[in-house]
Amino acid sequence: MLTKLKPESVKAGNIRPTNYISTRGSIDPIGFSDAVLMGLASDGGLLLPEQIPDVSDKLADWRGLSYVELAEEVMSLYVDLPRPDLKKLLEQSYGTFSHNEVTPVVSVGGIHVAELFHGPTLSFKDIALQFLGNLFEYILAETGGSLNIVGATSGDTGSAAIYGVKGRDRIRIFIMHPHGRTSRIQELQMTTVPDENVFNISVEGDFDDCQNVLKGMFNDLEFKEEFSLGSINSINWARLLAQIVYYFYAAFRAMDITGKTRVSFSVPTGNFGDIFAGYIASNMGLPIKKLVLATNENDILSRFFNTGVYSLGDVHATISPSMDIQVASNFERYLYYRCDKDARKLSALMDEFSKLGRMEVESLSDEGVDGLFDATAVDAESTLKTIREYHEKYDYLLDPHTAVGVFAGDKFVEKDVPMICLATAHPAKFSQAIIDALGENVAHHPAIDSLEGMPTRCSTLPVSVDAVKSYIKGKCI
């Protein structure tokens, strides 16, 4: 269903990068830099590349590359930056990581764990947001413009975004988080940053409320243009582009370890962005047998891939709070391809969901809704049990989100197909879950321990587009 560039057209290495279109079909194609600054498409849709390159014939050459080298090869197919400039941005972005492999893969029991938490805020979000922060600064220096970044976070996105742009010229950042619904550490990582271009907003609602306020502001095109709004949420394609890279890197490492020629991934996800990056990687030619979608009790996505019905439920506060989401903002990108890239059909489905809180799609085959995906929901008891078992059996500590993915990976692992579980955060960020699982807090990290007692800055606002717009106006005067 995805339009691909033929392998022979990619071999030269100087192919013109693709333009970007909206899932709603009402904007002219734009270049990568414009897509980065636009964030949410001006017609209310999400931006996607017009074409997906088929790189099947390049996998052998890419397999031995370092993380930065691989990122340069993958991203160069999608961006309109000179290669030397892209290389420099990537070196700057991943030079901040504490591990020389950036995203190392370790074997634990019968699975392989891709550790995505070696960035400045100990979250997989750093992989995309360190790059995006440098990219924003690069583009603004070229254009002479400025940007007010506005984001909504269920936990990790906010701190990773703040650390990506704090102290930078030409950029302010406004981060909304649901009041009292992030972990204590996640809140401290955001609110203890003293830089004058950083503003934290605690919204008196849940994460979906934050997302609705965000979309309301971006859909006010006059306000968006007047205040030069930009997005760091995964509605920004550059975030997903950066995430595609670690699917290739992790697959190559697991293949090196096992000698196998294809892999599966288990992905804890609430907003569908992380696993959608794997969907794109698969369609680029990476030999992925299965993408296992793992949710917590907020199971709208797992229910969809098991039934074909996408329907709202209540938001439950869980021990894996970054996944406490009902409306997954990146799901529209997947639906666009399920609609055979028919923007009108997609728009009709989204309108139906907006009115009824429900939509339904037909299965692709006898394998179910989509043969590439398996899906399951994992409750708190199973999450804590997984943390405890992996610590006792393998002396390996999982954060609660990763434990959701590991439980699901164990459930769907197949003989002769390595299962790679994405470890999305360092366990020190979720000490209460570790205490609940093990009876004591054995998860520590200097960057986390140093946060206690630091002064904080945050404003509390109601669930109101107008209230947040007024706050932003006041800070931009």
- Cβ contacts of residue 263 below 8 Å, gap of 6+? 250, 251, 254, 255, 287, 288, 289, 417, 418, 419, 420
Concatenating the DSSP letter of every residue in 86-118 gives HHHHHHHHHTT-SSTTSS-EEEETTEEEEE---
Distance CA 64, CA 438 (A): 39
Alpha-carbon distances, residue 248 vs 63, 237, 357 (angstroms): 8, 18, 35
Phi, psi of 313 (to 5 degrees): -135, -175
Please list the alpha-helical segments (H only) found in 271-362: 273-284, 300-307, 331-338, 343-356
- Tokens 């293949």 belong to which residue? 255
Q: How many CB atoms within 10 Å of residue 108? A: 16
Alpha-carbon distances, residue 300 vs 215, 278, 303, 366 (angstroms): 20, 19, 5, 22
Alpha-carbon distances, residue 66 vs 70, 100, 344 (angstroms): 6, 9, 42
H-helix or E-strand spanning residue 311 = strand 309-311
Alpha-carbon dihedral 23, 24, 28, 33, rounded to 10 degrees: -40
Let me know if 260 is a catalytic residue. Answer: no
Concatenating the DSSP letter of every residue in 186-239 gives HHHHHHT---TTEEEEEESS-HHHHHHHHHHHHH-HHHHHHTTEEE-STTSHHH
Question: Is residue 77 within 8 Å of 15, Cβ to Cβ?
Answer: yes
Question: Is residue 305 within 8 Å of 368, Cβ to Cβ?
Answer: yes
Helix (H, G, I), strand (E, B) or coil at 421: strand
Distance CA 60, CA 47 (A): 30
The closest of 232, 245, 238, 226 to 198, measured between CA atoms, is: 232
Check residue 227 and give left, alpha or beta (phi > 0: left; psi -120 to 50: alpha).
alpha
- Tokens 């569908």 belong to which residue? 272
Helix (H, G, I), strand (E, B) or coil at 121: coil
Phi, psi of 358 (to 5 degrees): -160, 145
Catalytic pick from 58, 125, 215, 290? 125
Supply the residues annotated as catalytic: 125
